[in-house]
Amino acid sequence: MPYFELKKDDKSFPPAYFADIEGLLAVGGTMSVERLLLAYNSGIFYWHYPLKHIKWWSPDPRVVVKPESFEINESRWESLNKEFTLTTDTDFEQVLRGCQQVYNVDGQMDNRWLTERMVRIFLELRSKGLAHSVEIWRDGGLVGGLFGVAIGKLFFGEYLFSTMEGADELAVLHLITKLKNQNYRLLDMQKATFFFPGIEYDEIPRLEYVDICKENALEYKDVPTEF
């Protein structure tokens, strides 16, 4: 299937509905904080092999969680909370490094690889108050966590990792509960690394999802993001 090739100085993306049947929209362009934010606000996410061009995706349908209708299993929640300690935005970079340890496997450089360039970009987003993390601890050590980007009332999940059973589940449950309490509209499950068995997902058409992203970006353009 054909796709668009972006030049380094391109300032925009083609319309998301031009994506192919697998969701691939475009390849190339220069990665930056500004371009990544534009992608989020256009219903597009990045995913690429570290030694190849950046690939920009907009699949149809889009897989999301709607926090408003999410019902947590209270007994499971209480059980996990007894086993681990949970924090939010306490050690963002350590969560990124934890993701690298899990996904950056020597000899297996696939599209889950978290490059140093992307670490720097996410750290810059963190400094702007847009990127956030959930940390899961056991006996003083980080055993799981997740991070993503919050814009307005949308949260774009990026990476989730765990080195102990249940740590990733607690991180996701805490995130969804937090988003529900803050009246977030959607949690975007854009990457396979962010999926977790047992969590109920929704599917919405790409065009509807893109409209939601654009409306959200416009509504919260000059409003600080609450998380």
The CATH number of the domain holding residue 196 is 3.40.630.70
Do 56 and 113 fall within a single domain?
no
Q: What is the pTM assigned to this prediction?
A: 0.94
* AA letter at 77: W
Is the Cβ–Cβ distance between 27 and 57 less than 8 Å?
A: no
Q: Which domain holds residue 196?
A: 64-204+214-219
Do 47 and 118 fall within a single domain?
no
Instruction: Please report the pLDDT score of residue 52 as a whole number.
Output: 75
Instruction: Please report the pLDDT score of residue 9 as a whole number.
Output: 78
**Beta-carbon contacts of residue 75 (< 8 Å; ≥ 6 apart):** none
Instruction: Please report the pLDDT score of residue 171 as a whole number.
Output: 96
Is the Cβ–Cβ distance between 16 and 40 less than 8 Å?
A: no
Is the Cβ–Cβ distance between 59 and 204 less than 8 Å?
A: no
Instruction: Please report the pLDDT score of residue 10 as a whole number.
Output: 78
Residue 225 DSSP class? P
Instruction: Please report the pLDDT score of residue 76 as a whole number.
Output: 87
Q: Does the pLDDT of residue 154 top 90, yes or no?
A: yes
pLDDT digits 0-9 by tens, 156-191: 999 999 999 999 999 999 999 999 999 999 999 987
Instruction: Please report the pLDDT score of residue 195 as a whole number.
Output: 73
Q: Which of 60, 78, 108 is the last residue of a domain?
A: 60
When pLDDT is averaged across residues 52-75 and rounded to a whole number, the result is: 90
Whole-angstrom distance, CA of residue 209 vs CA of residue 216:
11
Instruction: Please report the pLDDT score of residue 51 as a whole number.
Output: 64
Instruction: Please report the pLDDT score of residue 136 as a whole number.
Output: 98
Whole-angstrom distance, CA of residue 70 vs CA of residue 154:
15
Do 165 and 194 fall within a single domain?
yes
| Tokens describing residue 37 | 């934010």
Q: Which of 17, 36, 60 is the last residue of a domain?
A: 60
pLDDT digits 0-9 by tens, 99-153: 999 999 887 777 788 999 999 999 999 999 999 999 999 999 999 999 999 999 9
> How many domains are contained in the chain?
2
pLDDT digits 0-9 by tens, 10-38: 789 999 999 999 899 999 988 999 999 99
